[in-house]
Amino acid sequence: MWKEEDDKLKRTFVFTDFKSAFAFMTKVAAVADRLDHHPWWANSYNKVDFELSTHDAGDKVTDKDRNLAETIDAIYADKA
């Protein structure tokens, strides 16, 4: 579940292995680039951490972030 904290939407996604986490990141990267909204993220083996905020809005959470979060959730749900 996403949580709003420190003017960011935050969430960690967990996978079975590094390859699955990286495949997820690749899919998210393509969508984020198309939306011209590039998240902060970090990957450690089977985990991917996100922090979403909009730089142009003073690094605050906006609908742009909420829409990207929904898209990321959909990509994660379709990982099977």
Structure tokens, 51 = 């922090």
pLDDT of residue 65: 96
Backbone φ and ψ for 8, nearest 5 degrees, come out as -145, 150
pLDDT of residue 56: 87
pTM value is 0.92
- E strand map for the chain: 3-5, 8-14, 40-44, 47-52
**3 state SS of 63:** helix
Domain 3-77 in this protein, CATH class: alpha beta
pLDDT of residue 63: 95
Give the number of other Cβ atoms within 10 Å of residue 8's Cβ. Answer: 18
pLDDT of residue 5: 96
Mean pLDDT by 10 residues, the chain (80 residues): 97 97 97 93 98 92 96 88
